[in-house]
Amino acid sequence: MPQEMYEERLRAAKPEKFAWERQEAEGLALADLDEKRIRGAVRLGVERGRMPATAEAESVESLLSKWNLMRDGKVLNGAVALFGKNLSAYTQMSLRLARFRGTDKNEFVDSGRADGNFFDLLDAGMAFLFKHLSQSGKIVGFQKEEHLEIPAEALREALTNALCHRQLEKYNLTPSIAVYDDRVEIENPGRLPFDLTPETIKSAHASYPYNPLIAEVLFKSSFLESWGSGVGRMVDACRAQGVPEPEYEVAGGFVRIVFRRPEGAGVVNGPVNGDVNGDVSSLKGVLKDIYLIVLNNPGIKIAQVAELRGKSESTVWKQLNELTKKGIIEYRGSDKTGGYYVKKADV
């Protein structure tokens, strides 16, 4: 049988020995995990009815044990991939980001790399997509609805899948996002399940998670759906917005999903502002967290940011005001109905 099929059968037969997510994280302990990320995942799971309310009172060790991410008091790689803080030894925990001029890789107009756990990479990837894709809006009733040129929910699902289902044991390979004038490509090191092809993956199919422990935590925290429904939801979102369905490709040890951009939407006529009307790359800590909240929740209000941060409205207002003065975000609308938005890059 092919080498890849043989290795997969070994993983299925003896996951404790051969599955990367189930192996002990050498030199790391509970203190090396981000408890805020863990608590945030639990809170979402409880709110969506996928975890019992009692989970919020459990210790981190108890939660990880129930998720099979600790064994004999030792933290496993799956826990580090999801919640790790210092991942310098995990070279695969990166996400390559690039905006190219035209339709090939000959000329960069923006590039970078994000490092961190699953949630860090998801935030960074979505921030990059919001930065380089255009938005449009229309008035529906008394509300303004804004849409990314490619549905944000489809892009988020594709990136979540890429980060969750990749072959993490390949420490020298990382997922990537590439934005071209005519398309967006999200790819990850790995392959499709043996029963699926780029042509059949859009049909109804069972769920085949490559990293089932990681996938189960993401399902319970509502970041991922089970039953193989994610591809169908991406297709539905694109159809509803009138943009082409995503396309799948498998080549060179990578799975790639391609979203076609609306004609003329992505032509770059000049240099792209490296930051979103401000020095975003220099943001750290609380200000970076606030920026990402606004970026992923256009029109958000002070009270909503305060709830997400678990801080007072006066504290959050000062942080929002600081970002506003830097020219990174702006307030739009009236005092009662308006909200905060990230300023778009000039292209």
Distance CA 61, CA 41 (A): 15
CATH at 288: 1.10.10.10
Banded model confidence at residue 139, pLDDT cuts 50, 70, 90: very low
* Beta carbons of 245 and 238 less than 8 angstroms apart: yes
Q: Over pLDDT 70: what percentage of the chain? A: 83
Same-domain check for residues 184 and 323: no
322's enclosing H/E stretch is: helix 313-325
| Residues 165/120/272/134 CA torsion (nearest 10 deg) | 70
331 and 294: one domain?
yes
Are 129 and 242 contained in the same domain? yes
Do 254 and 105 lie in a common domain?
yes
pLDDT of 176-211, one tens digit each?
Answer: 999 999 999 999 998 887 777 788 787 766 677 889
Q: Could you read off the pLDDT of 273-321 as tens digits, one per residue? A: 444 434 565 677 788 888 888 887 888 999 888 877 778 888 899 999 9
Q: How confident is the model at residue 22 (pLDDT cuts 50, 70, 90)?
A: very high
Last residue of a domain, one of 260, 291, 325: 260
Q: What is the pLDDT of residue 151?
A: 93
Whether residues 99 and 79 share a domain: the answer is: no
Contact 192, 210 (CB under 8 A): no
The CA distance from 210 to 168, in Å, is 9
Q: What pLDDT, on a 0 to 100 scale, did the predictor assign at position 75?
A: 96
Average pLDDT, the chain: 85
Question: Are residues 102 and 251 both part of a single domain?
Answer: yes
Q: Indicate the residue among 83, 105, 124 that finishes a domain.
A: 83
Q: Does residue 98 sit in the same domain as residue 144?
A: yes
Cβ pair 316, 306 in contact under 8 A: yes
Q: Which residues are CB-neighbours of 331 under 8 A, at least 6 positions away?
A: 324, 338, 339, 340, 341
Amino acid at 81: A
Q: Is residue 170 part of a domain?
A: yes
Single pTM value for the model: 0.75
pLDDT at 8 over 70: no
- The residues pairing with 300 across neighbouring beta strands, listed in sequence order, are 340
The verdict on 305 and 229 lying in the same domain is no
Among residues 24, 49, 83, which one ends one of the domains?
83
- How confident is the model over 240-285, as pLDDT tens digits? 999 999 999 998 889 999 999 987 666 655 544 444 434 565 677 7
Domain membership flag for residue 268: no
What three-state secondary structure class fits 291?
helix
Q: Is residue 211 part of a domain?
A: yes
Distance (Å, whole) CA 256 – CA 162: 9
The number of folded domains in the chain is 3
Mean pLDDT of 99-104: 94
Same domain? For 126 and 197 the reply is yes
Same domain for 98 and 234, yes or no, is yes
Per the structure, the complete domain to which residue 65 belongs is given by 3-83
Whether 314 is covered by a domain: the verdict is yes
d(CA 302, CA 133): 26
Question: Do 220 and 293 share a structural domain?
Answer: no
User: Over 50: is that where the pLDDT of 52 sits?
Assistant: yes
Residue 114 inside a domain? The answer is yes
Q: Which residues contact 252 (CB under 8 A, 6 or more apart)?
A: none
Strands 339-342 and 329-332: antiparallel
Q: Is the pLDDT of residue 65 over 70?
A: yes
Q: Is residue 247 part of a domain?
A: yes
Q: Is residue 220 part of a domain?
A: yes
What gap in Å lies between CA 330 and CA 308, rounded to an integer?
Answer: 19
The answer on 71 and 213 residing in a single domain is no
Give the separation between CA 143 and CA 136, rounded to whole angstroms. Answer: 14
Query: Does 274 fall in a domain?
Result: no
**Residue 237, domain CATH:** 3.30.565.60
